[in-house]
Chain A
Amino acid sequence: MDGLEGGDVFVIVVGGGRVGFYLTKELLAEGHELVLMEKDPRSAERLRDELGAVVVNRDGCEGTHLAEAGANRASIVAAVTGDDADNLVVCQMAKHHFDVPRTIARVNNPRNEILFRHLGVDEIISPTRMVLAAIEQDIPVHELLHLAQLEGGELELIEAQIADDSPAIGRRPADIELPEGCALFVLIRDDKAQSMRPDTVFQAGDKVIAVSRTECETDLHRQLIGAAHEIAGA
């Protein structure tokens, strides 16, 4: 909580789940002025027993409820419900309707992060992303996937996922220097398989099915996944 020196900030927390509950508790302990909005009457009552009068049984997506809670003088609105759509609406209403300087959204689907930022949410908290990042440190994801062995183990059927940073993006099959004895075979895009054509241009998100001699795998990896991930993929 850098930058919150206590006392003069007014925070509205929307969503009284676990995140909202502990967040409210911490902020109260630090001496901030705060309102916790929880739309479910039962949950709100339970929260009020624990946290006191800062809990209001109001829906943070409703303009009138936000106004009642004092959104027009809030410095921060934090939307931490378990529902991405609700969190987005809370932040957009706060930002565009009440000119709240700082909005924070919990985002559960990591794919919503870019959109939320683009739509003006100031800060994104993504529990999914945090856990994912922790896991990815241990498990390399930039790997070739071995699907099957062919010809008694001399050839392999391999799947390569074209990530955002793949050197193959924007290139055609002919632009890719493949080792001898290696063939790109099928392209999977938007969950549909298509055969590799000379005019195919690789995009992020594509999957490429290739047949490769076992010893050529490192070259294939470099071309499709990228040198940056070689250690992770080894």
Chain B
Amino acid sequence: MIEVKNIYKSFENANVLEDISETFEKGKANLIIGQSGSGKTVLLKSIVGLHEIDSGEIIYDGQVFNKMNFNGKKEIRKQMGMLFQGGALFDSNTVEENVMFPLDMFTDMTSDEKRERANECLKRVNIINKNNLFPSEISGGMQKRVAIARAISLNPKYLFCDEPNSGLDPKTAILIDNLIKEITEEYNTTTIINTHDMNSVLAIGDKVIFIYNGQKWWHGTNEDIFKSDNEELNDFVFASKLAQKIKMNR
């Protein structure tokens, strides 16, 4: 479980996050939604420690992460997996080497054991016979899946996904969503997903947090969204005609 308590973050006197508190539960897909520039990426990067917050607390299973020293953070980070918007695969390494990387760094497995584990993870995300290709030689959807395989190679306790569907076609986006949801349940991870894809929200959002102008504006389940009378949330979620139709039909 991850808790954030009263966190504030600013860049050069511009407040980006203001007094955000939330609890992200284990085994559930926690979605952070909001318009571009609302502060959701800053929030996610603050939670994982890529941005230092101005004040507040980020607590990983009872341990205050933002007050830990470098080595303490390092230990927590070994239990994290993250899927970046662009995949962030190491472009000079092959698919297999990318997935084996965390195993190389943090385990004493033999080469065969590492290769076996990498193949297990790749198989889990339906990437077969692509081991020796470089990231630039596979499609965007495959890159995302390889990034998921890398993120789960050490059985993480916490999984973070930043815009997992950006730049993907609708079919592949659904595939990625389902994969994240399955992995969350299978590995019982605390999963936090940053998205502005409404299909993801409706399909896998066990818990949804709406960020508006750097503040937590609303939270609830994906079902609660249809009942909410929060004006800003409705403007955001039901901006498209298709979404409005779905709401009308409910």
Partners in one complex: no
Residues of A within 8 A of B (CB): none
Residues of B within 8 A of A (CB): none
